[in-house]
Amino acid sequence: MTQWDSITDKVHAGERLSYEDGVWLFEQRDVIRIGKLAQVVRRRLHGEKVYFNKNRHINPTNVCAFHCNFCSFARTSDSDPGAYTHKPEDLPAMVRPAVEAGVREFHIVGGLHPELGFEYYEDVLRVLKREFPHIHLKAFTAVEIDFFCQLTGLGHEEVLTRLIDAGLDSMPGGGAEIFHWDVRKKICPEKADMETWLVVHDTAHRLGIKTNSTMLYGHIEKPEHRVHHMVMLRQQQDISGGFQTFIPLAFHPMENNLGRKKDRKFTTGVDDIKTLAISRLILDNIPNIKAYWVMLTPELAQVALSFGANDMDGTIIEEKIYHDAGARTKQEMTTSELMNYIRAAGYIPVERDTVYNELEVFS
């Protein structure tokens, strides 16, 4: 029996693929065959449905105490060109047009400002929840949570509990980057390590908070680092079960130290599609795989729907982090545009809320 036969049999039987299977798949050039296998899993879980939501990004500040080599978003101090910090009380006016347009979720992440204090971040949630109680607040990565612990001397559970009291509803999956320390120490040594990132999400899951998960790829990592990352997420999901979706994020090389060292090379479409498909095959216990159109382009995200992905994210509105790094997509998309991409690919658009309750099926 060949390796292809072995993996194919496992996929059709619903059996778990091994780390070795994942690395072997990354070494193969037949991306169509990998995609067909990923579609077996995708259809088993979701049929022909593709999810999207109405969301708006909010980045309260881009001033950050950390110096990640892949980051084009952060500024080191308030005096740097392009630096900003929004006052919490100013945020409702900024986002009100999006709320009036039907947005249901705020996606809130930003810099780790060294001087604001934890109360600033609590106030961001408190002000938004008071003004818009019906809007779901998906806020603060595990790296931000760990930074808040450093600011306050509190533990992860205490910090998360205070944020929940302020209005936190769920968490995004950022800050994961690549878990393997051989890579992490070169691209983001100041950030919470793999163990800490996983502990924060474990704590959130125990508190009833659903979270997302991500992986930054296409920089200096190798296929074995990508598969190790996926396997670690899978192991955590076996334990705590609170990951809703996995979002592979392609490295964008503009305006950052890592990009300058790599001569500013973007990932290829084949690599993007292969990574999405293999993540669908390895992450058998994380229900959703997101094709993030801001990073992929809407057209490639549309293709990804036939390679294991079942979610296109949402309307976004004012995405800054990827655009600062050279994203060539626009900063928002209408629901009709999203549905057109989904339908043209042969799938059924489904509007969801943040925790994947189906709000409307556009059959």
Mean pLDDT computed over 159-180: 97
CATH number at residue 244: 3.20.20.70
Residue 65 lies in a domain: no
- Domains in the chain: how many in total? 1
Q: What is the pLDDT of residue 68?
A: 63
pLDDT at residue 316, rounded to an integer: 64
Is 101 within the bounds of a domain? no
pLDDT at 321 over 50: no
Asked if residue 77 is part of any domain, the answer here is: no
**Is residue 197, in this structure, part of any structural domain at all?**
yes
Domain residues for 261?
18-55+141-158+169-356
Q: Is residue 191 part of a domain?
A: yes
pLDDT exceeds 80 at position 253: no
**Residue 105 covered by a domain:** no
Which residue blocks in the chain are alpha helix, DSSP H?
3-13, 19-27, 31-46, 91-100, 118-131, 142-152, 156-166, 181-187, 194-206, 223-240, 257-261, 269-282, 293-296, 298-304, 321-324, 335-344
Give the model's confidence band at 327: pLDDT under 50 very low, under 70 low, under 90 confident, else very high.
very low
Mean per-residue pLDDT of the chain: 90
Q: What is the DSSP letter of 297?
A: -
Kindly indicate the confidence band of residue 183, based on its pLDDT and cuts at 50, 70 and 90.
very high
User: pTM for the complete prediction?
Assistant: 0.92
Residue 223 — pLDDT band, cuts 50, 70, 90?
Answer: very high
Q: Which of 118-122, 264-268, 294-298 has the lowest mean pLDDT?
A: 264-268
Q: Is 102 part of any domain?
A: no
Task: Tell me, yes or no, whether 82 lies in a domain.
Answer: no
